[in-house]
C-alpha cells in the first residue's frame, strides 16, 4: 500500500500536492476566508437599538457614520501612526543587536544573545504589559530611579508615550530575528571590497548593508506593524485619555455596545491598510527574506 | 419519504406559529410556578464585589449550585453578555436601572413569579415594583441594592471634602483625574450643568435634547484633556489611586472601602449638586439553563443577612428593610452609615441610572436615545 501510494504520488504530481496542501487549504478557505467574508457581509447590516437584534440587509449607514464622525478618522490615524513609530523604533533598536550578534559575537555569545532575544516570548504577554504599567506609574520604578539620581519625575504612565514604549518592547524580537538573518546573508567579501575601495564604516553600512538587508527589515516590519495595528489590550492597560485604537472601538462595539455591524465596518480598515502594506512589502522583496 | 418531509415542514410551521407570539410584546413567557431541585450550576453576570465568597460559599453549600461569576464593568457590557451566544450562557444578571429595560424589551430576561421570593414583601415600597424592572404589572426582576455615585479624593491633596463636582472639571488637577469609561457618565456632567447653568433647562440628566447634549459634550471634551485615564474596571481606579496617578475622580463606594482597607489616604463625598446613582435588579435570562438555581440565588441574596453583608462590603443600601438590624449586628453603626434607615426623601434625591430614550417625559420627543449617547461618548474620549 505504501509502495503504491508513493508510486502514485510520483506519477501524478498534482495529486500528491493536493494531498499535502488539501487540509491547510481547507483550513484557510473554511475558517479564514469565510470569516473575512462574513465580516464584509456583516458590515452592511444594522442593529435595532432597543432590542439589540441584528437587521440583515444592505446599507452604507455604518460606513457613512465612520466617515462623517472625525473621531474615527482620528483613531485610525493614531493607530497607523503609532504602528509606524513602533516599526521605525524597532528597526533602529534591532540593527545594533543584529549586527553584534552576527558580525561581532563568537558562536557561544551569539547563542546566548539569541536566547536573550527569545526568552521574553516565553512569558505571558499580559504579565509583561502589567510589568510596564508598574514601571511607568507615578510611583513606579522609572520615577524612583530618576529621583535617585536627582532628576525630576516623568509623567508618561497611562499615555501614548507609554503605549509607544510598551509596543516597541513587545515586538522587538520579531524585528531582530529577520534583520539578523538578513545581515547573515550579506557575504563578508562585499564588506571587505567596500573597505578596499575606500568607503568608511558608515558609508559601507549605508550603501552596502542597508540596501541588502532591506528585505529583512521589511519582513520584520510586517510583524511589528500588523501586531501593533491589531492590538487593543495594550492601549486598554497602559493607554490614557485619547489612547483608543481601532481595536478598542471594535472591542467596545462587540463586547460592550453589541453593535457588531459597526465593528465589522471599522475592522475592514486595518484589513485594507495591511493589504496595501503587504503589496509594498512584496515589491521590496520581503517575502524572499522570511 | 415525502410524508416525512411534509411532517417535518408541518412541525416547523407549528413551531414557528407557537414561538412567534412569544417573540413579541414584553409579557409572553410564563414564569416558574414552583422552585424545583437545583441544577447544580449557576452562571452569574455581576458587578465587581457582587459575588463574594462570604455569601457565595454558604450558598453553594446550602443549595449545591456551583456559582460561576463573570464580572462586567458597565451596564452596556452586561447587556452584551446576556445577549451573547444566543442568550443561554448566563442564568442571572445584577442589572442596573439603565440596563433593565433594554433587557426586558430585548426579550433577554424572563418574568419572575414574585410569590416565590418571600423577602420581597419587606422591600422598601419604591423598590417593590419600580418602573425599571416591572412592566405592565409583570415583574422582570427583583430589586437588590442601591446607592450614589460618589466623588473620591485623596486626603493628601484635599484638606477637606470638596463641596462641588467642579473639581473633576478643574484644570488645577490636570492629569490627575479619573472617571468611568461609560456613556452614562454623560449624566454626571448633565447633573452638574443643571445646577451651574440653569439657562440650559436640564431637568432630568437622562433626558437631553441636542442643544443640552452639545453643552454637556463641550464640558466633557474640556475635561478629557485633564483625565489621567478613563477607568473600565473598579480595580483600575483602585490602582490609579494607590499609585498616586489619580487624586480625584468619580467612583463607587466600593473603591473607597477597598482603598481605605488598604490604608490608602482617600475619602469620598456627595457634593452639593447631588449625585447620580444606581438601583440594581437581579434578573433571570429568558433562556436560563439553570432556572431553579437562579431562584435559589435570588432568595439567598435577598435575605437580611446577605443584604447586610453586601451593603457593608460594597458601601450601598439594601432593598430589604429587615437588613438594618443585621447590618448593625455585623458592624455597629453601619445601618445609618449606609442609609438603610434613611427617609424616603434620601432615595428620591438620587438621580438613578436609566436608559435614555427619545421620549423626554415632558411631551416632547426630541431627546437623544442611548445609541446617540454612545456615539457622543466615543467622540468625547477621542
Domain count, chain A: 1
In chain A, which residues have their Cβ closer than 8 Å to the Cβ of B369? 49
In chain B, which residues have their Cβ closer than 8 Å to the Cβ of A257? 76, 80, 371, 374
Residue A263 lies in a domain: yes
> Cα separation of A102 and A110, whole Å?
7
Q: Report the 3 state secondary structure along B138-190.
A: EECCEEEEEEECEEEEECCCCCCCCCCHHHHHCHHHCCCEEEECCCCHHHHHH
**In this model, does residue A43 exceed pLDDT 70?**
yes
Is B227 part of the contact surface with chain A (CB cutoff 8 Å)? yes
- What percent of chain B lies above the pLDDT cut of 70? 93
Q: Which residues of chain B from 52 to 81 reach within 8 Å of chain A, CB to CB?
A: 74, 76-77, 79-80
Please indicate whether, in this complex, the C-beta atoms of B225 and A258 are within 8 angstroms of each other: no
Which of A50, A158, A242 lies at the smallest CB-CB distance from B382?
A242
Residue A262 lies in a domain: yes
Residues B361 and B254 in one domain: yes
In angstroms, what CA-CA distances link B242 with A62, A138, A272? 41, 10, 42
Q: Helices B185-196 & B210-224, crossing angle to 10 degrees?
A: 110
The residue written with cell numbers 545581515 in the block is A183
B28, B82, B181: best to mutate for the A interface, most A CBs within 10 A: B181
Residues B284 and B327 in one domain: yes
Residue A235 · residue A252 · CB < 8 Å: no
Instruction: Choose between B26 and B289: higher pLDDT.
Output: B289
Q: Which of B103, B135, B61 is nearest to B284 (CA)?
A: B103
Residue A29 lies in a domain: no
What SS3 state is found at B68? strand
In chain B, which residues have their Cβ closer than 8 Å to the Cβ of A65? 375
Residue A180 lies in a domain: yes
Residue B219 · residue B273 · CB < 8 Å: no
Residue B377 lies in a domain: yes
- What percent of chain B lies above the pLDDT cut of 90? 73
Residue A13 lies in a domain: no
A248-256, Cβ contacts within 8 angstroms, sequence gap of 24 or more: A248/A75, A249/A72, A249/A75, A249/B378, A252/B378, A254/B80, A255/B77, A255/B80, A256/B74, A256/B76, A256/B77, A256/B80
Q: How far is A287 from chain B (nearest CA, A)?
A: 36
Is A61 part of the contact surface with chain B (CB cutoff 8 Å)? no
Residue B91 · residue B290 · CB < 8 Å: yes
B101, B175, B237: best to mutate for the A interface, most A CBs within 10 A: B175
Q: Count CB neighbours of A162 within 10 A.
A: 23
| pLDDT (average), residues A72-83 | 96
Q: How far is A215 from chain B (nearest CA, A)?
A: 36
pLDDT confidence tier of residue B14, bands split at 50, 70 and 90: very low
Domain assignment of residue B268, given as a range: 150-274+355-381
Please indicate whether, in this complex, the C-beta atoms of B375 and A69 are within 8 angstroms of each other: yes
**In this model, does residue A249 exceed pLDDT 80?**
yes
pLDDT in tens, B301-359: 999 999 999 999 999 999 999 999 999 999 998 998 888 988 888 888 899 998 888 88
Residue B358 · residue B348 · CB < 8 Å: no
Task: Return all residues near B337 (Cβ < 8 A) that are at least 6 apart.
Answer: none
Residues B72 and B173 in one domain: no
Domain count, chain B: 2
pLDDT recorded at residue A51: 66
pLDDT confidence tier of residue B21, bands split at 50, 70 and 90: very low
Residues B129 and B157 in one domain: no
In chain B, which residues have their Cβ closer than 8 Å to the Cβ of A241? 224-225, 227-230, 381-382
Domain assignment of residue A258, given as a range: 67-289
Indicate which CATH number applies to the domain containing B373. 3.40.190.10
ipTM over 0.85: no
pLDDT confidence tier of residue A289, bands split at 50, 70 and 90: low
Please indicate whether, in this complex, the C-beta atoms of B80 and A257 are within 8 angstroms of each other: yes
The residue written with cell numbers 505571558 in the block is A124
Largest distance between two CA atoms of chain A: 78
Residue A201 lies in a domain: yes
Residues B246 and B340 in one domain: no
Indicate which CATH number applies to the domain containing A100. 1.10.3720.10
pLDDT in tens, B27-79: 457 889 999 999 999 999 999 899 999 999 999 999 999 999 999 888 888 99
> Cα separation of A170 and A223, whole Å?
11
Residue A167 · residue A243 · CB < 8 Å: no
pLDDT confidence tier of residue B375, bands split at 50, 70 and 90: confident
Residues B221 and B362 in one domain: yes
Q: Which of A93, A89, A111 is nearest to A101 (CA)?
A: A111
Which of A49, A138, A255 lies at the smallest CB-CB distance from B370?
A49
User: Closest residue of A to B356, CA-based?
Assistant: A50
- Going A79 to A81 to A83 to A86, the CA torsion angle's sign is negative
Residue A53 lies in a domain: no
> Cα separation of A208 and A77, whole Å?
34
| pLDDT (average), residues A24-50 | 87
Instruction: Choose between A54 and B61: higher pLDDT.
Output: B61
In chain A, which residues have their Cβ closer than 8 Å to the Cβ of B77? 255-256
User: Closest residue of A to B225, CA-based?
Assistant: A241
Residues B311 and B330 in one domain: yes
In chain A, which residues have their Cβ closer than 8 Å to the Cβ of B240? 158
- In this predicted structure, which of A209-218, B4-13, B278-287, B372-381 has the lowest mean pLDDT? B4-13
Residues B77 and B189 in one domain: no
The radius of gyration computed from the CA coordinates of chain A, to the nearest angstrom, equals: 24
Helix, strand and coil content of chain A, in percent to the nearest 5, comes to: 80, 0, 20
Which of A49, A71, A240 lies at the smallest CB-CB distance from B228?
A240
User: What cell does A56 get?
Assistant: 440583515
Task: Return all residues near A40 (Cβ < 8 A) that are at least 6 apart.
Answer: A264, A268
In chain A, which residues have their Cβ closer than 8 Å to the Cβ of B79? 52, 258
The residue written with cell numbers 526568552 in the block is A119
Is B364 part of the contact surface with chain A (CB cutoff 8 Å)? no
Please indicate whether, in this complex, the C-beta atoms of B245 and A52 are within 8 angstroms of each other: no
pLDDT in tens, A178-187: 999 999 999 9
Residues B246 and B364 in one domain: yes
Which of A52, A139, A258 lies at the smallest CB-CB distance from B243?
A139
Residues B228 and B263 in one domain: yes
pLDDT confidence tier of residue B10, bands split at 50, 70 and 90: very low
User: What cell does B235 get?
Assistant: 480595580
Please indicate whether, in this complex, the C-beta atoms of A51 and B107 are within 8 angstroms of each other: yes
Residue A15 lies in a domain: no
> Cα separation of B111 and B243, whole Å?
45
Residue B3 lies in a domain: no
What SS3 state is found at B47? strand
Residues B304 and B165 in one domain: no
Helices and strands in chain A, H and E counts: 16, 2
pLDDT in tens, A127-137: 999 999 999 98
Is A282 part of the contact surface with chain B (CB cutoff 8 Å)? no
Is A71 part of the contact surface with chain B (CB cutoff 8 Å)? yes
For residue B17, with 0-12 CB atoms within 10 Å meaning exposed, 13-18 middle and 19 or more buried, which class applies? exposed
Amino acid at each position: 500500500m505504501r509502495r503504491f501510494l508513493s508510486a502514485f504520488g510520483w506519477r501524478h504530481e498534482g495529486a500528491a500536492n493536493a494531498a499535502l496542501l488539501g487540509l491547510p487549504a481547507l483550513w484557510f478557505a473554511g475558517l479564514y476566508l469565510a470569516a473575512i467574508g462574513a465580516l464584509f457581509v456583516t458590515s452592511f447590516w444594522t442593529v435595532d437599538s432597543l432590542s439589540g437584534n441584528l437587521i440583515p440587509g444592505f446599507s452604507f449607514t455604518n460606513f457613512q457614520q465612520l466617515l462623517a464622525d472625525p473621531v474615527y478618522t482620528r483613531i485610525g490615524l493614531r493607530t497607523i501612526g503609532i504602528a509606524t513609530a513602533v516599526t521605525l523604533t524597532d528597526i533602529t533598536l534591532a540593527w545594533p543587536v543584529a549586527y553584534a550578534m552576527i558580525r561581532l559575537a563568537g558562536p557561544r555569545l551569539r547563542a546566548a544573545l539569541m536566547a536573550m532575544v527569545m526568552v521574553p516570548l516565553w512569558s505571558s504577554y499580559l504579565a509583561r504589559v502589567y510589568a510596564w504599567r508598574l514601571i511607568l506609574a507615578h510611583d513606579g520604578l522609572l520615577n524612583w530611579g530618576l529621583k535617585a539620581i536627582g532628576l525630576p519625575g516623568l509623567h508618561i504612565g497611562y499615555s501614548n508615550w507609554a503605549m509607544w514604549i510598551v509596543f516597541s518592547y513587545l515586538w522587538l524580537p520579531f524585528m531582530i530575528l529577520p534583520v539578523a538573518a538578513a545581515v547573515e546573508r550579506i557575504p563578508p567579501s562585499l564588506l571587505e571590497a567596500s573597505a578596499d575601495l575606500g568607503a568608511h564604516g558608515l558609508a559601507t553600512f549605508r550603501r552596502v548593508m542597508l540596501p541588502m538587508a532591506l528585505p529583512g527589515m521589511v519582513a520584520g516590519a510586517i510583524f511589528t506593524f500588523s501586531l501593533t495595528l491589531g492590538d487593543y489590550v495594550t492601549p486598554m492597560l497602559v493607554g490614557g485619555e485619547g489612547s483608543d485604537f481601532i481595536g478598542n472601538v471594535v472591542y467596545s462595539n462587540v463586547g460592550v455596545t453589541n453593535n457588531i455591524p459597526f465593528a465589522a465596518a471599522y475592522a475592514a480598515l486595518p484589513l485594507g491598510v495591511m493589504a496595501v502594506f503587504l503589496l509594498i512589502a512584496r515589491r521590496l522583496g520581503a517575502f524572499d527574506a522570511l | 419519504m415525502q410524508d416525512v418531509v411534509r411532517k417535518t415542514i408541518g412541525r416547523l410551521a407549528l413551531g414557528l406559529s407557537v414561538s412567534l407570539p412569544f417573540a413579541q410584546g414584553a409579557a409572553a413567557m410564563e414564569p416558574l410556578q414552583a422552585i424545583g431541585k437545583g441544577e447544580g450550576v449557576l452562571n452569574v453576570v455581576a458587578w465587581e464585589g457582587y459575588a463574594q465568597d462570604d455569601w457565595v460559599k454558604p450558598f453553594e453549600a446550602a443549595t449545591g449550585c456551583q456559582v460561576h461569576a463573570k464580572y462586567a464593568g458597565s451596564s452596556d457590557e452586561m447587556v452584551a453578555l446576556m445577549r451573547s451566544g444566543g442568550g443561554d450562557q448566563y442564568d442571572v444578571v445584577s442589572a442596573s436601572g439603565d440596563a433593565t429595560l433594554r433587557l426586558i424589551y430585548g426579550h433577554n430576561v424572563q418574568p419572575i413569579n414574585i410569590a416565590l421570593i418571600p423577602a420581597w414583601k419587606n422591600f422598601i415600597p419604591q423598590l417593590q415594583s419600580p418602573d425599571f424592572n416591572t412592566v405592565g404589572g409583570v415583574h422582570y426582576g427583583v430589586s437588590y441594592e442601591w446607592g450614589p455615585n460618589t466623588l473620591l479624593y485623596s486626603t493628601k491633596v484635599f484638606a477637606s471634602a470638596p463641596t462641588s463636582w467642579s473639581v473633576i472639571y478643574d484644570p488645577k488637577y490636570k492629569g490627575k483625574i479619573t472617571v468611568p469609561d461609560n456613556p452614562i457618565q454623560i449624566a454626571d456632567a448633565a447633573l452638574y450643568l443643571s445646577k451651574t447653568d440653569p439657562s440650559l433647562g436640564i431637568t432630568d440628566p437622562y433626558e437631553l435634547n441636542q442643544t443640552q447634549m452639545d453643552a454637556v459634550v463641550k464640558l466633557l471634551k474640556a475635561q478629557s484633556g485633564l483625565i489621567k485615564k478613563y477607568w473600565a474596571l473598579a480595580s483600575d481606579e483602585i490602582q490609579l489611586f494607590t499609585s498616586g496617578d489619580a487624586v480625584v475622580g468619580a467612583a463607587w463606594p466600593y473603591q473607597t472601602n477597598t482603598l481605605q482597607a488598604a490604608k490608602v489616604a482617600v475619602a469620598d463625598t456627595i457634593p452639593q449638586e447631588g449625585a447620580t446613582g444606581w438601583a440594581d435588579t437581579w434578573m433571570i435570562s429568558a433562556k436560563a439553563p439553570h432556572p431553579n438555581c437562579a431562584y435559589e440565588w435570588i432568595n439567598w441574596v435577598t435575605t437580611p443577612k446577605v443584604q447586610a453583608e453586601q451593603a457593608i462590603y460594597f458601601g450601598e443600601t439594601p432593598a430589604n428593610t429587615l437588613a438594618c438590624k443585621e447590618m448593625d449586628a455585623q458592624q455597629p453603626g453601619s445601618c445609618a452609615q449606609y442609609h438603610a434607615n434613611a427617609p424616603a426623601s434620601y432615595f428620591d434625591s438620587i438621580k438613578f441610572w436609566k436608559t435614555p430614550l427619545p421620549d423626554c417625559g415632558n411631551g416632547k420627543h426630541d431627546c437623544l436615545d442611548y445609541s446617540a449617547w454612545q456615539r457622543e461618548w466615543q467622540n468625547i474620549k477621542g
